[in-house]
Amino acid sequence: MNAEPINVTGTPIRAKGEILLSVENISLRFGGVKAITDVSFDIRKGEIRAIIGPNGAGKTSMLNCINGFYQPQEGQIVFKGERRAKMRPHRAAAGGIARTFQNVALFKGMSTLDNIMTGRTLKMKKGFFWQALRHGPAMQEEIAHRRVVEDIIDFLQIEHIRKLPVGKLPYGLQKRVELGRALAMEPELLLLDEPMAGMNLEEKEDMCRFILDVNNQFGTTIALIEHDMGVVMDLSDRVVVLEYGRKIADGTPDEVKANQKVIDAYLGVAH
């Protein structure tokens, strides 16, 4: 083997790991509107799992259920062997689930560095009092966390915007900062909601590279929603397809591509 963790097509070769998270018969309703109906799938350790589907298929709702932002009326979520009907966002975060948002949700007035630093909040143990003093143990802690954050800045190649307020940055870079903040949590499972929306080709390529690197280097499991089919097929190990809140296909990119239901959902079909 000549130093090839990545094969020619750019798809990572990974052993199928154990199940990290599974979604069991989830249904979610907003009043009379059924956002998700009886969907089940699993995410294995170390894989890149894509969730795709036409607009309004329930993809983002699904992510929101996984990290506890929404409470599904039916069904359960099993994360690291723990089964629960209700997940809470802070519990999800503490348990190792991090996410980015479809519409960038950063602190616009704060610098890149500070934004990523907020991703470390949960890991900071010293109390408010110590931190206010900015001395002794709190300082030690701050230095240790800053080191992690600097590693992430180096990893994402955003040294040049370290001290700029993120509100002033172009969209593609904001997305990268958001990814950085999620990484700062050192998550086991990273949820990416349309990480490449609104990006140009070059930015997309960069983002793909970062996603692969995160997966490869930190072994982070990734679940992502994405509309760019080329990206999805290249990046992911397995794909689950939703339409009108139901699962219509689940499998490797090739299997999904060949699935008639998926073709119909995307191209439309005469009923």
Q: Which residues bind another protein (CB under 8 A)?
A: 1-5, 146-147, 150-151, 153-155, 157, 159-160, 162, 201-202, 205, 213, 216-217
Question: Which of 45, 99 has the CB closer to another protein?
Answer: 45
Question: Which of 18, 159 has the CB closer to another protein?
Answer: 159
Residue among 47, 22, 91 nearest 214 (CA): 47
d(CA 254, CA 218): 26
Taking the complex as a whole, the smallest distance from the CB of residue 160 to another protein amounts, in Å, to 4
- Do residues 133 and 87 touch, judged by C-beta distance below 8 A? no
d(CA 168, CA 171): 9
Question: Which of 57, 161 has the CB closer to another protein?
Answer: 161
Taking the complex as a whole, the smallest distance from the CB of residue 249 to another protein amounts, in Å, to 29
Question: Which of 59, 176 has the CB closer to another protein?
Answer: 176
- Do residues 97 and 187 touch, judged by C-beta distance below 8 A? yes
Question: Which of 10, 81 has the CB closer to another protein?
Answer: 10
Beta bridge partners of 243: 246
Taking the complex as a whole, the smallest distance from the CB of residue 216 to another protein amounts, in Å, to 7
Rg for the chain, CA atoms, rounded: 19
d(CA 86, CA 71): 6
Taking the complex as a whole, the smallest distance from the CB of residue 154 to another protein amounts, in Å, to 6
Taking the complex as a whole, the smallest distance from the CB of residue 257 to another protein amounts, in Å, to 21
